[in-house]
Amino acid sequence: MENLGQFLPLILIFAVAYFFMIRPQIKRQKDEKKFASELKKGDKIITKSGLHGKIVELNDKDFSCVIETMAGRLKFDRSAISMEMSQKLNKPAEKK
């Protein structure tokens, strides 16, 4: 019983680290994977580097997509698309 008391602070540190750091990151990864799989032609998106465009083609074989911008068409990996920025872009305007 005395040995358990010595390891209790260490166990609590790991529990706190799991619930406040690891678990939210896993949830975020699941959300991003779901977002990338739900992309469709015609969606307006923003890449993580800040490039704005519209999806013209999706390739499931190599998990990429072709984005049409004002400069032309560019091929990107779906993981390069920013989930937060794209959702803000496609969110309907709020009525006041």
Instruction: Please give the model's pTM, rounded to 2 decimal places.
Output: 0.70
Residue-wise pLDDT tens digits, 22-46 = 999 999 999 988 988 888 898 899 9
pLDDT at position 3, please? 77
Backbone angles phi, psi at 71, to 5 degrees: -90, -10
How are beta strands 64-69 and 52-59 bridged, if at all? antiparallel
Cα–Cα distance, 82 to 65 (Å, whole number): 13
57 CA to centre of own chain: 20
Residue-wise pLDDT tens digits, 6-20 = 888 889 999 999 989
